Structure 1
Amino acid sequence: MGEYLENEYQMEIENRVRNLMWTVSGDYSLDVELDVDSFQKSRYISLYDAIKQGAFARYFDKDALALYVVKKSFLGADQMNLMNLAQICVDAAVHKRVEAERSGVADIRKKAFSDLIEFDYRRLSESLTGMLKLAFFKRALDPGYRTTKKLSEALSAVEELEGAAETMELIRTVDRLYNSLLDQTFEERQGSLEEVLSVTLEELAEYGWKDFLKENAETESFDDYMRRLTQSMLRTESGEEAGQEEKEEKEPGAPHVVQVTEEDLKKVYSYVELNFGKSYLSPLESRRMDYRLCRGAHGDCSLYFTEGILKNSVKNNYQYQYALRQAEQNRRVYAQNHNLARKNITILTDVLRQALVRRSETEYVRDDHGHVVPKLLWKVGRTNDRRLFTRTLNRNAADFVVDVLIDASGSQRVRQPKVALQGYIISRALSNVGIPHRVMSFCSFWDYTVLHRFRDYDEDRSADKNIMEYTTSSNNRDGLAIRAAADGLLKRQEENKVLIVLSDGRPNDIIVNRPNSKNPRSYGGDYAVKDTAREVRHARNMGISVLGVFAGKEIDLNAEKKIFGKDFAYIRDIANFSNVVGTYLKRQLDADNL
């Protein structure tokens, strides 16, 4: 009954939104897939998207703009950034026209933009086109809003479209913004706008437009693909590219710069707190931590330690609801695989327990000191062998501590439930054998590296379940995260310290360009790989055993090898994560030199 009512409610919303779009467009044959899901987040976003879809279909040629995006992408442009620019330009071109006809539209638009700033600030602030969107939203809410010179110039170009009469005006503006903001060499390499538009459908077919599609959409026709791209292009929110997974990060080494104002900098800490939960460190402890650890390549960065938005939220916002839904999904996947998980926990527990038992056994070795062995005394004066004694070796089975550090950047988004499940298996097995351990994830937001602690070293087994709150977002500054994790391990009294890092072998972080300061060096590509490798070597020199578990793409294997050397494992399936970690831990427990 509940499912029936939910479907009825969904249909009612869709009919309401569709009728609004038809009314605005004046075309009751217009058939597009509407963004009804956003109604659950904000009805104003959903309603305004319907208005904008109808208005653009009425006044402009939506197919011409979409085809331009495909052709520009065919020549190597980034489709997601093109889509973001197109979304802003479409809004600028239609809003005054439709507001003149319908007085309530202006209010709906402002409320939609206000909700988008609250819900999507973090995601939008991670890219230049996202920052332009934010500035566009803020300018609509406050005409006196001021931003950086670069974004102000781009906004002026967008605002000129408020009097646009032809689709070609939008295309020229999108093209000019892309070439000036994102790729100043595009025209030199690939040609002018006229050459972009001269690409034929035959060339697109030969090139293979299906390269833009996800694997599960390979049977889609070109018309279907164009329809989905058009709908995505006309929405207010950024989403996945039509037919392609969102790019997880920029190419290695490509600078990813976000320019910020003084106003933004004052608010950034509150945004981090709002989106990741309050920090469990006091302001004084945080400053001391930053002073000690945020140096060298990370001199302009900060560390943020939290137990997550679900444990210490500021308010029940969209990000809180997203984290709640992801945690529920993680738990659902665990419930579906409960028997398999329990079996793996049992196997891993037995492996570790047997290794600990062997380590606890008393071992006798011959040496040049200790208890004399009478039957060997005949060697005195006759041989050079001085090992006439036995010595007892008592190894401490409990003298181990483990840190598990998990990449929680956007590149792990599709694997979230599996990563949470494997992390839980490892954590529960370590709890079962009494090895103190900490489990944390890491990602970066602006110049903050966020370390989400799921369980601390000496917590009881009830804390293991917190790994189900694992969520991903943003970028990853692996070097600083490893430095912070190693710092925690070095404070422990245990002699044998182990750090296990799950990552994709591609450290990549944005650059925050503060007002009146020079850009720091881009943290990506070879520079970031070398920095991360340096942190791994430093941790090993300090007596920490470090294992890298690689869960990325084969093309990044060489980078992973440079970072972790011989102690790294490549897993093609995240389901093998706990087995790999178990094997490594057993080897460490069995090692004589620990």
Structure 2
Amino acid sequence: MILTEFEKRRAANLIWNAAGDYTISPGFRIYDEDGRADLYWNSMIGASYRHYDWKKLKEFYNSFHETVDQELYENFFWIALENACYGKEKSLRPAFPELRRDYAERKLKNFMPGIAESRDGWITEGHFRRVLGEDSGLPDLVDRKLLSEIELGPELDTEQWIAALSRTLQKYFTYLPGKPAAEQKHRRKLLIPQLFSLLRRKGRRERGTELSPVHQLAIGFSEELMGRGGEDGSPFRTHAERYAAVTEAGLRNYIISYFGLPLYDEARSRELTERYCRGSHSGCRLHFTRGRMQGEEKGFVGRMHREMRAQRERNLQAFHREEARNRAAVSELVRRIRNALLRQMEAETLRSGSGELCASRIFRALYCGDSRIFDRTVPGADGSLSVDLLLDASASQQRRMEVVSAQGYIIAESLSRCRVPVRVWSYSSMGGYTILTLFRDYRERERNEEIFRYFTTGANRDGLALRAVAGQMEESEAEHRILILLTDEKPNDMVKLKSCGEEQAYAGPAAVSDCAEEVHKLRMRGIHVLCVYTGLEEDLPDVRRIFQQSFVRIRSLDRFASAVGGLLQGEIRRL
């Protein structure tokens, strides 16, 4: 298998993002049979780095080298690690249960025949059947018991985890706990296959197709950067890892090369970061951009830019395939918004202390002390409303890029036709940065198609994104300001949340509380915050906690205009 620099870099990014540390190199990266970085397993490796001592784990893993049952031990190592780490992470990272189920379904559907014929293959298959809530299907009671003992729980620390798995391997096989590889029972070495392997490698080098250090496991294909014998992994690091964002300047340069040139100069960017990255978001940084690249990039970043351009075409093609439906949605949403605005635009006559004298109320000034004896005509809300639309562009939306870009376009186009100033952003986070990409500004009515550049990557720190965009809304001269968040509402970021001198993961209930607090603060400042929710039923309690009743759940584009139109109509009428 030939691994491209792009997939190596992508695997490293998945690990870094899940670990919350862009300087680590745990020693492993996992790929599927096509050489693509595996989303679930690399995320799991990164997450496990936060809970376990990887130096000890690698020493333990190295003790399997050249043993009689090396492949069995390695596969069981990964099953045990996955099960234990998932138990620790599932409440912290709302996306993990869905990623796990998706991986299990794909794995069982496409289980490799050669693996399925081996004992570790059967047991791996049984494990992922259990993940889906099924019976393991293992006919041998010994294997069922073995699987139960391998599926270690989240309560164990590193030493306990190693000890528990060591006991199981000793009980069922020939493994000697606490002994290095040199003292384990070894397989017989055959000179001829080794010589054949060397000749084959020589031929590949001569053809210029030297393979990466990859071997097949029941879970996929493992690239072991530290080598099968435990050597240091630095020679196998990718160019991007050597470039790596280990300094502030390096990380900032990487973010700029990946997402685009900054919207503001360095002084202004620093000022905004200092203003908004406080309290629960201290330690974070902001990058405002229009997504304009500084030039043709090479390597991983260049490949990602090409993927972004390709995704834009896919977004546009998906929109045009359903153009009749989408244009009808725009028309319906325009009608609903205009009806709401017309009601607001109707002039009202109010009792006032100044204006046109109303003779019939003079007696109230004389006998009741009521100075409101004048009539004053108050204009409607025409020209005093602006809308900011904020699109969640985190990796949890990866499968919905075509749908989200269409939804964003429909809302922006409808507001534009109603002459309501609208500004459209997307947000995601990577390496401690929250990235806010501006697609169109208030006066840029002809730039709605820029929304089809929508592309997902990284995590999402919703509270900081809301705070930063609300700060930008101060530029609006409108009397009434609406902020619409289009999201599946799974806040999750690598930088921990700071509260009362303590730190906790920015995920789960803590992140939801942060978002709810931020929305409350914005409403106290007079900003009307709405949510177009695209997530799962199980997360609805979190959405209600954050937005109260000011949200609508969208399951498909079919009723999108009706649902969003009703939400906007109700909010406009309350202005």
* Pair in the same fold by TM > 0.5: yes
User: Where in structure 2 are the equivalents of 1:25-36 lying within 5 Å?
Assistant: none
**Aligned to 1:412, which of 375, 378, 397?**
397
The answer to whether the 8 A contact 1:119-1:317 is kept is no
Deviation at 1:236, TM superposition (A): 5.0
Aligned to 1:482: 466
Aligned to 1:570: 553
* Amino acid across the alignment from 2:471: D
* Amino acid across the alignment from 2:16: S
* Amino acid across the alignment from 1:170: E
* Amino acid across the alignment from 1:473: T
Structure 1 CA distance, aligned partners of 2:89 and 2:461? 28
Structure 2 CA distance, aligned partners of 1:422 and 1:544? 22
Deviation at 1:526, TM superposition (A): 1.5
User: Where in structure 2 are the equivalents of 1:134-533 lying within 5 Å?
Assistant: 134-136=25-27, 150-166=53-69, 167-171=71-75, 173-174=77-78, 211=133, 233-236=219-222, 263=246, 267-308=250-291, 314-315=297-298, 317-367=302-352, 369-374=354-359, 388-461=373-446, 463-511=447-495, 520-533=503-516
Deviation at 1:481, TM superposition (A): 0.6
Structure 1 CA distance, aligned partners of 2:362 and 2:248? 78
Secondary structure of 2:477 counterpart: coil
CA RMSD of aligned residues (A): 4.2
The answer to whether the 8 A contact 1:122-1:445 is kept is no
Secondary structure of 1:457 counterpart: coil
Aligned to 1:536: 519
**TM-score with structure 1 length normalisation?**
0.62
* Amino acid across the alignment from 1:400: L
Aligned to 2:543: 560
* Amino acid across the alignment from 1:428: E
* Amino acid across the alignment from 1:276: F
The answer to whether the 8 A contact 1:123-1:130 is kept is no
* Amino acid across the alignment from 1:496: H
Aligned to 2:572: 589
Which of the two has greater helix per residue? 1
Aligned to 1:125: 16
**Aligned to 1:550, which of 501, 510, 533?**
533
Deviation at 1:455, TM superposition (A): 1.0
Structure 1 residues 587, 185: CA separation in 2 closer, same or farther (over 3 Å shift)?
Answer: closer
Deviation at 1:490, TM superposition (A): 2.0
Secondary structure of 1:344 counterpart: helix
The answer to whether the 8 A contact 2:315-2:401 is kept is yes
The answer to whether the 8 A contact 1:424-1:464 is kept is yes
Structure 2 CA distance, aligned partners of 1:129 and 1:281? 27
Matched length: 423
* Amino acid across the alignment from 1:509: D
Structure 2 CA distance, aligned partners of 1:159 and 1:266? 36
Structure 2 CA distance, aligned partners of 1:398 and 1:185? 48
Structure 2 CA distance, aligned partners of 1:397 and 1:264? 50
Deviation at 1:364, TM superposition (A): 2.3
Structure 1 CA distance, aligned partners of 2:549 and 2:455? 30
Structure 1 CA distance, aligned partners of 2:133 and 2:472? 45
Structure 1 residues 118, 212: CA separation in 2 closer, same or farther (over 3 Å shift)?
Answer: farther
The answer to whether the 8 A contact 2:21-2:431 is kept is no
Structure 1 residues 542, 159: CA separation in 2 closer, same or farther (over 3 Å shift)?
Answer: same
Structure 1 CA distance, aligned partners of 2:571 and 2:72? 65
Q: Select between 113-122 and 297-306 the one with higher mean Cα deviation.
A: 113-122
* Amino acid across the alignment from 2:478: E
The answer to whether the 8 A contact 1:437-1:457 is kept is yes
* Amino acid across the alignment from 1:486: A
What's the % identity of the aligned pairs?
28
* Amino acid across the alignment from 2:278: R
Structure 2 CA distance, aligned partners of 1:455 and 1:204? 50
* Amino acid across the alignment from 2:265: S
Secondary structure of 2:273 counterpart: helix
Gaps of at least 5 residues in structure 1 are 1-46, 49-111, 139-146, 187-196, 214-229, 239-260
Structure 1 CA distance, aligned partners of 2:311 and 2:86? 33
- Post-superposition Cα deviations, 1:287-332, rounded to whole Å, max 9, x if no partner, equal 1111110011110111111223679764562211221221111101
- Post-superposition Cα deviations, 1:189-234, rounded to whole Å, max 9, x if no partner, equal xxxxxxxx99998x95997675589xxxxxxxxxxxxxxxx88733
Structure 2 CA distance, aligned partners of 1:286 and 1:295? 15
- Post-superposition Cα deviations, 1:268-295, rounded to whole Å, max 9, x if no partner, equal 3233233322322222222111111001
Structure 2 CA distance, aligned partners of 1:408 and 1:366? 48
Deviation at 1:350, TM superposition (A): 2.9
The answer to whether the 8 A contact 2:389-2:485 is kept is yes
Secondary structure of 2:504 counterpart: coil
Structure 1 CA distance, aligned partners of 2:557 and 2:83? 39
Structure 1 CA distance, aligned partners of 2:10 and 2:443? 36
Structure 1 residues 117, 282: CA separation in 2 closer, same or farther (over 3 Å shift)?
Answer: farther
Secondary structure of 1:546 counterpart: strand
Deviation at 1:522, TM superposition (A): 0.8
Aligned to 1:94: none
Structure 1 CA distance, aligned partners of 2:297 and 2:318? 28
Structure 1 CA distance, aligned partners of 2:291 and 2:131? 41
Structure 1 residues 581, 314: CA separation in 2 closer, same or farther (over 3 Å shift)?
Answer: farther
Structure 2 CA distance, aligned partners of 1:336 and 1:199? 43
Structure 2 CA distance, aligned partners of 1:415 and 1:185? 24
Structure 2 CA distance, aligned partners of 1:274 and 1:346? 39
Secondary structure of 2:246 counterpart: helix
Deviation at 1:263, TM superposition (A): 3.1
Structure 1 residues 266, 158: CA separation in 2 closer, same or farther (over 3 Å shift)?
Answer: farther
Structure 2 CA distance, aligned partners of 1:349 and 1:311? 37
Structure 1 residues 568, 237: CA separation in 2 closer, same or farther (over 3 Å shift)?
Answer: farther
Secondary structure of 1:278 counterpart: coil
Deviation at 1:486, TM superposition (A): 0.6
Aligned to 1:41: none
The answer to whether the 8 A contact 1:419-1:574 is kept is no
Structure 1 CA distance, aligned partners of 2:245 and 2:322? 49
Deviation at 1:346, TM superposition (A): 2.1
